[in-house]
Protein backbone atom coordinates (compact mmCIF):
# COMPACT_ATOMS: atom_id res chain seq x y z
CA UNK A 1 0.00 0.00 0.00
CA UNK A 2 1.28 3.45 -0.87
CA UNK A 3 0.86 5.94 1.95
CA UNK A 4 0.50 9.49 0.70
CA UNK A 5 2.14 12.40 2.47
CA UNK A 6 -0.11 15.36 3.23
CA UNK A 7 1.61 18.66 2.50
CA UNK A 8 0.26 21.06 5.10
CA UNK A 9 -0.48 24.21 3.11
CA UNK A 10 -0.06 26.94 5.70
CA UNK A 11 -0.80 29.63 3.16
CA UNK A 12 -4.15 28.12 2.22
CA UNK A 13 -5.14 27.61 5.87
CA UNK A 14 -4.09 31.19 6.61
CA UNK A 15 -6.29 32.41 3.76
CA UNK A 16 -9.27 30.69 5.37
CA UNK A 17 -8.48 32.22 8.76
CA UNK A 18 -8.23 35.65 7.14
CA UNK A 19 -11.70 35.23 5.62
CA UNK A 20 -13.10 34.08 8.96
CA UNK A 21 -11.46 37.02 10.74
CA UNK A 22 -12.91 39.44 8.20
CA UNK A 23 -16.40 38.06 8.92
CA UNK A 24 -15.92 38.60 12.65
CA UNK A 25 -14.63 42.11 12.00
CA UNK A 26 -17.71 42.89 9.88
CA UNK A 27 -19.97 41.87 12.76
CA UNK A 28 -18.13 44.30 15.03
CA UNK A 29 -18.40 47.03 12.38
CA UNK A 30 -22.19 47.00 12.90
CA UNK A 31 -21.44 48.32 16.39
CA UNK A 32 -18.92 50.83 15.05
CA UNK A 33 -15.99 48.78 16.41
CA UNK A 34 -12.86 48.35 14.29
CA UNK A 35 -10.24 45.96 15.70
CA UNK A 36 -6.87 47.71 16.06
CA UNK A 37 -3.39 46.20 16.25
CA UNK A 38 -0.22 48.14 17.05
CA UNK A 39 3.18 46.64 16.36
CA UNK A 40 6.29 48.10 17.96
CA UNK A 41 9.52 47.70 16.02
CA UNK A 42 12.79 48.81 17.57
CA UNK A 43 15.69 49.32 15.18
CA UNK A 44 16.20 48.25 11.58
CA UNK A 45 16.65 44.48 11.49
CA UNK A 46 15.71 43.59 7.87
CA UNK A 47 14.10 40.26 8.80
CA UNK A 48 11.96 41.99 11.45
CA UNK A 49 10.96 44.65 8.92
CA UNK A 50 9.79 41.90 6.57
CA UNK A 51 7.78 40.09 9.26
CA UNK A 52 6.16 43.37 10.30
CA UNK A 53 5.16 44.02 6.68
CA UNK A 54 3.65 40.51 6.42
CA UNK A 55 1.63 41.12 9.57
CA UNK A 56 0.27 44.47 8.43
CA UNK A 57 -0.74 43.25 5.00
CA UNK A 58 -2.53 40.27 6.61
CA UNK A 59 -4.36 42.72 8.91
CA UNK A 60 -5.52 44.80 5.97
CA UNK A 61 -7.00 41.67 4.30
CA UNK A 62 -8.71 40.61 7.53
CA UNK A 63 -10.51 43.82 8.52
CA UNK A 64 -8.04 44.85 11.21
CA UNK A 65 -6.74 48.42 11.38
CA UNK A 66 -3.03 48.26 12.11
CA UNK A 67 -0.23 50.68 12.76
CA UNK A 68 3.48 50.32 13.34
CA UNK A 69 5.41 52.31 15.91
CA UNK A 70 9.02 52.60 14.82
CA UNK A 71 11.54 53.32 17.59
CA UNK A 72 15.21 54.06 16.97
CA UNK A 73 17.89 51.40 17.45
CA UNK A 74 19.29 53.49 20.32
CA UNK A 75 16.04 53.33 22.36
CA UNK A 76 16.27 52.56 26.06
CA UNK A 77 14.06 50.06 27.86
CA UNK A 78 12.27 53.01 29.51
CA UNK A 79 11.50 54.61 26.15
CA UNK A 80 10.02 51.37 24.81
CA UNK A 81 7.92 50.94 27.93
CA UNK A 82 6.68 54.55 27.75
CA UNK A 83 5.47 53.95 24.20
CA UNK A 84 3.75 50.70 25.19
CA UNK A 85 2.01 52.45 28.07
CA UNK A 86 0.63 55.01 25.63
CA UNK A 87 -0.76 52.19 23.50
CA UNK A 88 -2.21 50.47 26.60
CA UNK A 89 -4.36 53.55 27.22
CA UNK A 90 -5.72 53.87 23.68
CA UNK A 91 -9.23 52.51 23.18
CA UNK A 92 -8.73 52.09 19.44
CA UNK A 93 -5.82 49.68 20.03
CA UNK A 94 -6.93 46.18 21.05
CA UNK A 95 -3.69 44.31 20.46
CA UNK A 96 -0.03 45.22 21.01
CA UNK A 97 2.92 43.26 19.63
CA UNK A 98 6.54 44.05 20.47
CA UNK A 99 8.60 42.59 17.63
CA UNK A 100 11.50 40.41 18.79
CA UNK A 101 14.44 40.32 18.94
CA UNK A 102 15.21 43.75 20.42
CA UNK A 103 18.49 45.31 19.31
CA UNK A 104 21.76 44.51 21.06
CA UNK A 105 21.60 43.77 24.74
CA UNK A 106 18.07 45.08 25.38
CA UNK A 107 16.18 42.63 27.57
CA UNK A 108 12.62 42.20 26.28
CA UNK A 109 11.26 40.82 29.58
CA UNK A 110 10.30 44.08 31.30
CA UNK A 111 8.95 45.65 28.10
CA UNK A 112 6.77 42.62 27.45
CA UNK A 113 5.44 42.76 30.99
CA UNK A 114 4.38 46.35 30.44
CA UNK A 115 1.85 45.30 27.76
CA UNK A 116 -1.64 45.02 29.26
CA UNK A 117 -2.33 41.25 29.47
CA UNK A 118 -5.68 41.69 27.67
CA UNK A 119 -3.89 43.39 24.74
CA UNK A 120 -0.99 40.89 24.66
CA UNK A 121 -1.85 39.20 21.34
CA UNK A 122 1.55 37.43 21.30
CA UNK A 123 0.72 35.71 24.60
CA UNK A 124 4.15 36.50 26.05
CA UNK A 125 3.03 38.28 29.22
CA UNK A 126 3.78 36.23 32.36
CA UNK A 127 0.08 36.41 33.28
CA UNK A 128 -0.91 34.79 29.97
CA UNK A 129 2.00 32.32 30.12
CA UNK A 130 1.03 31.44 33.69
CA UNK A 131 -2.59 30.86 32.70
CA UNK A 132 -1.40 28.64 29.85
CA UNK A 133 0.75 26.56 32.20
CA UNK A 134 -2.21 26.16 34.55
CA UNK A 135 -4.38 24.84 31.73
CA UNK A 136 -6.51 27.99 31.41
CA UNK A 137 -5.35 29.23 28.02
CA UNK A 138 -6.22 32.82 27.17
CA UNK A 139 -4.01 34.70 24.73
CA UNK A 140 -1.19 32.27 23.82
CA UNK A 141 1.93 32.46 21.61
CA UNK A 142 0.98 32.47 17.91
CA UNK A 143 3.36 29.86 16.49
CA UNK A 144 2.31 27.07 18.90
CA UNK A 145 -1.32 28.06 18.38
CA UNK A 146 -0.89 27.81 14.61
CA UNK A 147 0.43 24.25 14.99
CA UNK A 148 -2.47 23.26 17.24
CA UNK A 149 -4.88 24.89 14.79
CA UNK A 150 -3.46 22.97 11.80
CA UNK A 151 -3.68 19.67 13.72
CA UNK A 152 -7.32 20.38 14.55
CA UNK A 153 -8.05 21.14 10.92
CA UNK A 154 -6.39 17.85 9.92
CA UNK A 155 -8.54 16.03 12.49
CA UNK A 156 -5.40 14.74 14.19
CA UNK A 157 -6.23 13.68 17.73
CA UNK A 158 -3.70 14.71 20.38
CA UNK A 159 -4.77 12.73 23.42
CA UNK A 160 -2.28 9.93 24.07
CA UNK A 161 -0.03 10.78 21.13
CA UNK A 162 3.74 11.10 21.44
CA UNK A 163 4.78 14.68 20.74
CA UNK A 164 8.47 15.53 20.43
CA UNK A 165 9.54 19.16 20.33
CA UNK A 166 13.08 20.14 19.32
CA UNK A 167 13.91 23.53 20.80
CA UNK A 168 12.97 24.94 24.22
CA UNK A 169 12.53 28.64 23.46
CA UNK A 170 10.07 30.87 25.30
CA UNK A 171 8.23 31.62 22.05
CA UNK A 172 7.81 28.11 20.63
CA UNK A 173 9.09 25.06 22.54
CA UNK A 174 8.03 25.86 26.09
CA UNK A 175 4.53 27.19 25.38
CA UNK A 176 3.87 24.43 22.83
CA UNK A 177 4.86 21.77 25.38
CA UNK A 178 2.30 23.25 27.80
CA UNK A 179 -0.40 23.38 25.12
CA UNK A 180 0.24 19.75 24.17
CA UNK A 181 0.09 18.69 27.83
CA UNK A 182 -3.19 20.59 28.19
CA UNK A 183 -4.49 18.34 25.38
CA UNK A 184 -3.22 15.15 27.07
CA UNK A 185 -0.36 14.34 24.70
CA UNK A 186 2.84 12.77 26.02
CA UNK A 187 5.54 15.39 25.51
CA UNK A 188 9.33 15.26 25.16
CA UNK A 189 11.23 18.52 24.78
CA UNK A 190 14.72 18.24 23.29
CA UNK A 191 17.32 21.00 22.92
CA UNK A 192 21.03 21.63 22.31
CA UNK A 193 22.04 19.70 25.42
CA UNK A 194 20.01 16.61 24.59
CA UNK A 195 22.41 13.63 24.45
CA UNK A 196 20.89 11.63 21.61
CA UNK A 197 18.36 13.60 19.60
CA UNK A 198 17.40 10.80 17.20
CA UNK A 199 16.54 8.49 20.08
CA UNK A 200 13.76 10.91 21.01
CA UNK A 201 12.60 12.10 17.59
CA UNK A 202 11.99 8.52 16.44
CA UNK A 203 9.26 8.21 19.10
CA UNK A 204 7.26 11.08 17.66
CA UNK A 205 3.78 10.80 16.20
CA UNK A 206 4.01 14.58 15.98
CA UNK A 207 7.44 16.18 15.60
CA UNK A 208 7.90 19.94 15.92
CA UNK A 209 11.32 21.36 15.09
CA UNK A 210 12.30 24.87 16.13
CA UNK A 211 16.07 24.73 16.42
CA UNK A 212 17.36 27.12 13.76
CA UNK A 213 19.68 24.48 12.27
CA UNK A 214 19.17 23.81 8.55
CA UNK A 215 18.76 20.13 7.68
CA UNK A 216 18.93 19.01 11.33
CA UNK A 217 16.22 16.36 10.93
CA UNK A 218 17.01 13.49 8.54
CA UNK A 219 14.87 10.61 7.37
CA UNK A 220 16.38 8.08 9.82
CA UNK A 221 15.31 10.28 12.73
CA UNK A 222 11.62 10.17 11.83
CA UNK A 223 8.96 7.54 12.45
CA UNK A 224 7.16 6.67 9.20
CA UNK A 225 3.77 8.38 9.08
CA UNK A 226 4.73 11.08 11.61
CA UNK A 227 3.31 14.60 11.34
CA UNK A 228 6.17 17.08 10.95
CA UNK A 229 6.02 20.81 11.73
CA UNK A 230 9.11 22.71 10.62
CA UNK A 231 9.36 26.04 12.44
CA UNK A 232 12.88 26.82 11.18
CA UNK A 233 13.52 29.73 8.83
CA UNK A 234 17.13 29.67 7.66
CA UNK A 235 18.69 31.57 4.80
CA UNK A 236 21.06 29.28 2.92
CA UNK A 237 22.57 31.14 -0.01
CA UNK A 238 19.58 32.78 -1.67
CA UNK A 239 17.15 30.12 -0.46
CA UNK A 240 14.94 29.89 2.63
CA UNK A 241 14.96 26.44 4.21
CA UNK A 242 13.67 24.90 7.41
CA UNK A 243 15.29 22.68 10.04
CA UNK A 244 14.01 19.51 8.38
CA UNK A 245 15.59 17.87 5.34
CA UNK A 246 12.35 18.24 3.39
CA UNK A 247 13.43 16.24 0.36
CA UNK A 248 14.14 13.13 2.43
CA UNK A 249 11.65 13.44 5.24
CA UNK A 250 8.63 14.24 3.05
CA UNK A 251 9.03 10.74 1.56
CA UNK A 252 8.11 9.01 4.81
CA UNK A 253 6.13 11.60 6.79
CA UNK A 254 2.36 11.31 7.17
CA UNK A 255 2.13 15.09 6.90
CA UNK A 256 4.68 17.89 6.69
CA UNK A 257 4.84 21.68 6.55
CA UNK A 258 6.96 23.23 3.80
CA UNK A 259 9.29 26.20 4.35
CA UNK A 260 8.29 28.75 3.21
CA UNK A 261 4.50 28.42 3.15
CA UNK A 262 3.97 26.35 6.30
CA UNK A 263 4.24 27.44 9.91
CA UNK A 264 5.09 31.10 9.06
CA UNK A 265 1.75 31.99 7.48
CA UNK A 266 -0.08 30.04 10.22
CA UNK A 267 1.69 32.18 12.84
CA UNK A 268 0.47 35.39 11.20
CA UNK A 269 -3.05 33.95 10.87
CA UNK A 270 -3.19 33.24 14.61
CA UNK A 271 -2.14 36.81 15.32
CA UNK A 272 -5.25 37.94 13.43
CA UNK A 273 -7.46 35.53 15.34
CA UNK A 274 -6.10 36.58 18.68
CA UNK A 275 -6.53 40.25 17.81
CA UNK A 276 -10.20 39.53 17.14
CA UNK A 277 -10.48 37.54 20.39
CA UNK A 278 -8.92 40.44 22.29
CA UNK A 279 -11.19 42.99 20.60
CA UNK A 280 -14.34 40.98 21.30
CA UNK A 281 -13.33 40.57 24.96
CA UNK A 282 -12.54 44.26 25.38
CA UNK A 283 -15.81 45.41 23.80
CA UNK A 284 -18.18 42.88 25.43
CA UNK A 285 -20.26 45.69 26.98
CA UNK A 286 -20.79 47.39 23.62
CA UNK A 287 -21.99 44.26 21.83
N1 LIG B 1 6.78 39.56 19.04
C2 LIG B 1 7.01 38.73 18.03
N3 LIG B 1 6.00 37.98 17.56
C4 LIG B 1 6.20 37.12 16.52
O5 LIG B 1 5.27 36.40 16.10
C6 LIG B 1 7.49 37.06 15.92
C7 LIG B 1 8.50 37.88 16.45
N8 LIG B 1 8.23 38.68 17.49
N9 LIG B 1 9.74 37.85 15.94
C10 LIG B 1 10.09 37.04 14.81
C11 LIG B 1 9.20 35.84 14.67
C12 LIG B 1 9.18 35.26 13.28
N13 LIG B 1 7.81 35.33 12.82
C14 LIG B 1 7.39 34.98 11.55
C15 LIG B 1 6.16 35.34 11.05
C16 LIG B 1 5.79 35.02 9.75
C17 LIG B 1 6.63 34.34 8.93
C18 LIG B 1 6.22 34.02 7.54
O19 LIG B 1 5.05 34.18 7.18
N20 LIG B 1 7.14 33.59 6.68
C21 LIG B 1 6.86 33.26 5.29
C22 LIG B 1 7.97 33.80 4.41
C23 LIG B 1 9.32 33.21 4.75
C24 LIG B 1 10.46 33.77 3.97
O25 LIG B 1 10.47 33.62 2.74
O26 LIG B 1 11.34 34.35 4.62
C27 LIG B 1 6.75 31.75 5.13
O28 LIG B 1 7.24 31.01 6.01
O29 LIG B 1 6.17 31.33 4.15
C30 LIG B 1 7.85 33.95 9.42
C31 LIG B 1 8.21 34.27 10.72
C32 LIG B 1 7.07 35.94 13.78
N33 LIG B 1 7.80 36.25 14.86
| Secondary structure string (H, E, C) spanning 124-187 | CCHHHHHHHHCCCCCCCCHHHHHHHHHHHHCCCCCCCCEEEEECCCCCCHHHHHHHHHHCCCEE
Q: Which residues line ligand 1 (CB under 6 A)?
A: 51, 54, 97-100, 122, 142, 233, 240, 259-261, 264-265, 267-268
Q: Atom 9 (ligand 1): residue with closest C-alpha? A: 100
Instruction: Please write the tens of the pLDDT for every residue from 240-256.
Output: 999 999 999 999 999 99
Instruction: Please write the tens of the pLDDT for every residue from 130-166.
Output: 999 999 999 999 999 999 999 999 999 999 999 999 9
> Is there a catalytic annotation at residue 99?
yes
Instruction: Please write the tens of the pLDDT for every residue from 195-224.
Output: 999 999 999 999 999 999 999 999 999 999
Sheet with 36-42, strands from edge to edge, namely 65-71, 36-42, 95-98
Domains assigned to the chain: 32-116 (3.40.50.10860), 142-264 (3.40.50.720)
C-alpha 96/C-alpha 110 separation (Å) is: 15
C-alpha 120/C-alpha 84 separation (Å) is: 11
Q: Residue range 13-21: average pLDDT?
A: 98
Reported ipTM: the value is: 0.96
Contact 287, 280 (CB under 8 A): yes
Q: Is the pLDDT of residue 2 over 70?
A: no
User: Residue 105's pLDDT is what?
Assistant: 82
- Which distant-in-sequence residues (6+ apart) come within 8 Å of 141 by Cβ? 122, 123, 124, 171, 172, 175, 176
The two beta strands, 239-241 and 234-236, are: antiparallel
Q: Atom 26 (ligand 1): residue with closest C-alpha? A: 240
Distance 217 CA to ligand 1 centre (A): 21
Amino acid sequence: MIELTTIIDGKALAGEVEAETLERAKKLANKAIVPGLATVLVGENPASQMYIRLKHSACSRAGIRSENVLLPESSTEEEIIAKIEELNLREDINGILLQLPLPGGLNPQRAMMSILPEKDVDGFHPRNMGALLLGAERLVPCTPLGIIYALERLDKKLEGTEVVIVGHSNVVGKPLAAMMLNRNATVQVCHVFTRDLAEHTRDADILVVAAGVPGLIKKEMVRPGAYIFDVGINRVGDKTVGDVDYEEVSQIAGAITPVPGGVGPLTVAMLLRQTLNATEDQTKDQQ
